[in-house]
Structure 1
Amino acid sequence: MKSNNTKKLRLYIFKSNKHIYANLIDDNTQKVITSSSTISKEIKNKIKYGKNCATAQIVGQHIGVKLKKLGIKEIIFDRGHNLYHGQVKAVADATRKEGIIF
């Protein structure tokens, strides 16, 4: 889903065995603009368990708030090699609830 002609930023979701990460990437400059994950300082204290749908929802909400603060309204959602269900869907839904369009 990499396109150098687009001005939209890409929200890439990565899941490890213990954590879930959401990175906002600018493909033109190949830099990470902002990120949120289950190991972020702001989120680490809010979660009780490692990686599940509830924590994925918190990560999605947190990245949505960060995007709004940066003035970003539209993005490209990149789920990587993950299926669109469970934790990936929870991140996407929580990000959409914050008003981000993709």
Structure 2
Amino acid sequence: MRKKIKPEDKQYEDDIMASFESGEWQSVPGLKEETARYASSASATLTKDKRINIRLSSRDLEDIQMRAAEEGMPYQTLIASILHKYASGRLIENTQHPAPRATGRSKKMLAG
């Protein structure tokens, strides 16, 4: 079954094709190496072959679960993503102190 192209999608595709045909696009230097690097990174990210156990405070776990729910993902996936970003050097520390926020526990207490 072929996807129906909407008029705005067709215009977008036509613009990209015109841009390509006019020579505006250039290949990335070292394309093969870059492709291999990204493929390796994706493979390592998606391969979950080890299991760990970790002890967290109830408060931290509730906060993580709440943030995961806000992002629409399981909390274990969020934890794995945070750890992967840290291990790969892509987790950026916020040096500013965040504004005080209600934690999962305090929100539950306020609701009850």
TM bracket, shorter-chain basis: under 0.3
Greater RCO between the two (CA within 8 Å, min separation 6)?
1
Bigger radius of gyration:
2
Q: TM-score, normalised by structure 2?
A: 0.23
Structure having the higher helix fraction is 2
Structure having the higher strand fraction is 1
